[in-house]
Amino acid sequence: MNITNHDLPYADLISVPSELSFRDVWDGEAVSELIRSKSANGETPAFLFLGRREAEMLREHLAEIFGEDSVVTLNGTYYKGLDVVTIDCASFLATGGRKAIRTLQDPIARRPVWRDRETETLWQFRI
């Protein structure tokens, strides 16, 4: 059995490369494309890992939309369905984890089809 002991509290930035890099502003479309590229077989990433620089860009982006007072911290924030996790490094962006995609099902669609017993018996083939 091979067991490797890691003492780092977060991902090693050398072995886990950043999946996106932004210049000066947050690019929501690029993040959406990254999520789509990593979604398959009814599963999607669960977490959005951000370094300090990317976390600040996301905070500014959300503040433009929702106002400064609504985005004091990113703790407990979800962005495009992913739980935002800030890590202590200068610059990093990656998605990780897996969660199942929930599909909405209409409860009426799961009901059996109603049939009139008299009419149904006329159409049954009996041997």
Show me where the domains of the chain are located: 28-102
Q: Which residue, among 90, 11, 14, has the nearest Cα to 57 in the 3D structure?
A: 90
The band of 88, judged by pLDDT with boundaries at 50, 70 and 90, is confident
pTM of the model: 0.67
Q: Whole-angstrom Cα distance, residue 100 to residue 92?
A: 25
Across all residues in the chain, what is the average pLDDT?
78
Do the beta carbons of residue 29 and residue 36 sit within 8 Å? no
Mean pLDDT of 16-41: 89
For residue 1, what pLDDT band results from cuts at 50, 70 and 90?
A: very low
38-54 residues labelled b (16+ CB within 10 A) or e (exposed): eeeeeebbeebbbbebb
Side chain identity, residue 51 = G
The burial of 102, by beta-carbon neighbours within 10 Å (0-12 exposed, 13-18 middle, 19 or more buried), is given as exposed
Nearest to 10 by CA among 108, 75, 96, 99: 96
